[in-house]
Structure 1
């Protein structure tokens, strides 16, 4: 059976187990034998220290799994011919079912994979880092929807979340310990019946282990060195920046990279629905929302929103406030903070263009503020933000396709002037061709560079007349 699934060449253990029906059934049988065994009780497994759960857990469960295999094989009718390699793979697969993400463990260990999408038990797609296409792994599948649901339950229980008919959707951030001791940050979303008609759906986003810098983005071709230097100055001059783009365009990656230019002595407060940011400074306060709980008998069911956290952060003496993604009522409080002296804020927003980002922000503020006039909201936005960056995903590439400065208001419209733009000339095998062009305008925010003694970029880079 080996070698019949080329898409599994990088996932040896999966290939050994899930492309062989006998081995697959053996893993299922052994795992079922452990479910009612006190030696594998959730209390005993959860009692393992998180930082050593993977190593200590494997040392604990693998000898017992070996014993279970020997017990099973005492019945000649249930014996399966196993090589040494097969046996070790079965033990590892059962261990993963007990301790971790089950059949998804090898995919999580694969550094080339950035996203894992499970569409019920029999369809698993992956996206490899840097690629824009999804790849189906036909030989990797759960036994059935119950197997998938049990795996989801085990994962979310570790972070004190649950998904059931009352709460059939869950978002969670999981810090997964790797064999080498490093922590892998994973964002998980699951949705089950009755909302998901066909059965459980699971989406997993893996975040890079290494911190992405502006220099890395230059190497990747996402922007030029001149643009990176300018963005570094923008951050050091404490300008407020709005990063816009579509899903998967690289907004959070750019935000992480841009945050690297924040001086190390500043107190930074980050606010997110699911913590994804990975700032390198020492003085960072990370805040994360709390979803409503069906077990809490209050009107809000214990929910803590981004708006609650933005309000609270203002009492925490922040030098910078970073909102991972603005998407609702918190937009109003964020604008008020920016317009009352809290400089250097960064945030992202889903939008189709820089102009669209401002329109979406206006809508969010209007919904949160009641009867406030559109003109007043636009004035507040134009005074709050200095720069709008737009990220685009073109083929397999991600580019800062537009850098714009907000220069004020003109006839009830927020004025934008474009400083740099990416001009596409073609697309070859998923790789975009084109150049970054200066638009010939000198940014007004350079006055703030001068006021804060930030090194001035050469005027020649703007091609200004």
Structure 2
């Protein structure tokens, strides 16, 4: 006669059985496919049954708990998700690509269960979280970033708090940027012209504002014969290698990732890679995100004539240059006004992306930084998005606004583009005043 048993009790008994008799299947990835057969044998030998679950469903659920990631398993690697946020063991929220947020009905069994699953998730990527090291940041296979905290950083009765960011680097094209209302065609074309003809720029914005998505889309416009050197940390967000119908690479891309290590002999930082990139004779150097001392090397590379593009967590225009200057101060604390002037010279164009209250993303501002002979900075707004009205209709936040082109580029920016080879007919389309606004 079948013995009905509570699932979590059965899980504990099954884990004990497997550990005693087939421990190697839990530590050897090549043997994991045998685990289900051992679980099946244990259930049949003991005639165990869990209410509302078939034998196959029960085996799959036990396997998921023992070898995979419990309630998180179905969502890791999902093409429709942007984030998985674990606020506590019994509170999990999913953020979809369209900005909608859904609370999961399922959750971990207990605070300790949540800690155990997150430890396993991190362990598979060589990361550790424990009482001595209660924080972990890194990446998981499949272009996924993870940040995890456990007690005493979070309350013990919450177990863990985790942010899992699923990255989809090649999904958004330049056409998508226009179709989704992120930017106008002229704004996208202007940035493509900048990166093609030697004008460095930085994309500023908060987390999840679309900075890297924009940068990845713009960089796909670079001609195949131009050499591009990308530098990232953690996980690959940029996806630029293109192949022909036979699988042969047709463009000229060097993708690199930093390698953090507690051992200085093995630690390879973004700063190291920026320095290395200049020996590869690159046409474009892309630093995925400036967040530390590598910012100084990126500024230096740009000031020596290289086309450098990057992202930074900052506000628009002057705020972005102030953030860059502060990061540079971490390497060499020179006069701040000098750092600020160098930041403006290194990145003469600042792009600002923002996630609005209705979860849509907009390219809010493209500004040019003009530096006078006295070192004073002046910002010339070339394109922006103006919010005309915010309303709430049937519980939905609605934003009405339009893109505008308040000014045209300065003579100095125009001359720089000409110097780097932009055809006059291509340049002329950006010099027109009074362009009609685009309402979105």
Please indicate, yes or no, whether the TM-score normalized by the shorter chain is above 0.5. yes
TM range (shorter): 0.7 to 0.9
In structure 1, C-alpha distance between the alignment counterparts of 2:306 and 2:431, rounded to whole Å = 32
- Residue from 187, 192, 198 that aligns with 1:232: 192
**Are the aligned partners of 2:206 and 2:313 in contact in 1 as well (CA < 8 Å)?**
yes
CA-to-partner distance for each residue in 1:334-367, whole Å, 9 max, x for gaps? Answer: 1111111222x11111112221111111112223
Q: Which runs of 5+ in 1 are unaligned?
A: 1-20, 49-56, 176-183
- Residue from 119, 126, 135 that aligns with 1:169: 135
Query: What's the counterpart of residue 390 of structure 1?
Result: 352
Query: What's the counterpart of residue 119 of structure 1?
Result: 87
**Are the aligned partners of 1:214 and 1:228 in contact in 2 as well (CA < 8 Å)?**
yes
CA-to-partner distance for each residue in 1:123-146, whole Å, 9 max, x for gaps? Answer: 111112121x64322x31112222
* Cα distance, 1:303 vs structure 2: 3.7
Query: What's the counterpart of residue 18 of structure 1?
Result: none
Count of aligned pairs: 411
State the secondary structure of the residue aligned to 2:279.
coil
1:324 lines up with 2:288 in the alignment: yes
Query: What's the counterpart of residue 65 of structure 2?
Result: 97
- Residue from 380, 386, 409 that aligns with 1:442: 409
State the secondary structure of the residue aligned to 2:338.
helix
Which contiguous aligned blocks of 4+ residues in structure 1 show a shift greater than 4 angstroms? 21-29, 459-462
- Residue from 335, 344, 347 that aligns with 1:373: 335
**Are the aligned partners of 2:148 and 2:163 in contact in 1 as well (CA < 8 Å)?**
yes
- Residue from 35, 38, 54 that aligns with 2:22: 38
State the secondary structure of the residue aligned to 1:456.
helix
Task: Give the TM-score normalised by structure 1.
Answer: 0.80
**Please, which moves more after superposition, 245-254 or 97-106?**
97-106
**Are the aligned partners of 1:422 and 1:436 in contact in 2 as well (CA < 8 Å)?**
yes
**Please, which moves more after superposition, 395-404 or 357-366?**
357-366
**Please, which moves more after superposition, 143-152 or 321-330?**
143-152
In structure 2, C-alpha distance between the alignment counterparts of 1:146 and 1:91, rounded to whole Å = 22
State the secondary structure of the residue aligned to 1:106.
coil
**Please, which moves more after superposition, 60-69 or 398-407?**
60-69
Matches within 5 A, 1:391-430: 391-395=353-357, 396-409=359-372, 412-428=375-391, 429-430=396-397
Query: What's the counterpart of residue 246 of structure 2?
Result: none
Task: Give the TM-score normalised by structure 2.
Answer: 0.84
**Are the aligned partners of 1:382 and 1:406 in contact in 2 as well (CA < 8 Å)?**
yes
Calculate the aligned-residue CA RMSD, in Å.
2.6
CA-to-partner distance for each residue in 1:166-210, whole Å, 9 max, x for gaps? Answer: 3322222222xxxxxxxx321111122333333322210111264
Change in 2 beyond 3 A, CA 1:99/1:316:
farther
**Are the aligned partners of 2:407 and 2:433 in contact in 1 as well (CA < 8 Å)?**
yes
Change in 2 beyond 3 A, CA 1:231/1:119:
same
In structure 2, C-alpha distance between the alignment counterparts of 1:415 and 1:89, rounded to whole Å = 65
State the secondary structure of the residue aligned to 1:331.
helix
CA-to-partner distance for each residue in 1:213-236, whole Å, 9 max, x for gaps? Answer: 121111110001121122221121
**Are the aligned partners of 1:127 and 1:135 in contact in 2 as well (CA < 8 Å)?**
yes
In structure 2, C-alpha distance between the alignment counterparts of 1:190 and 1:351, rounded to whole Å = 23
**Are the aligned partners of 1:389 and 1:402 in contact in 2 as well (CA < 8 Å)?**
yes
CA-to-partner distance for each residue in 1:263-297, whole Å, 9 max, x for gaps? Answer: 2223322222322423223533333333343xx4x
1:190 lines up with 2:130 in the alignment: no
Query: What's the counterpart of residue 115 of structure 2?
Result: 149
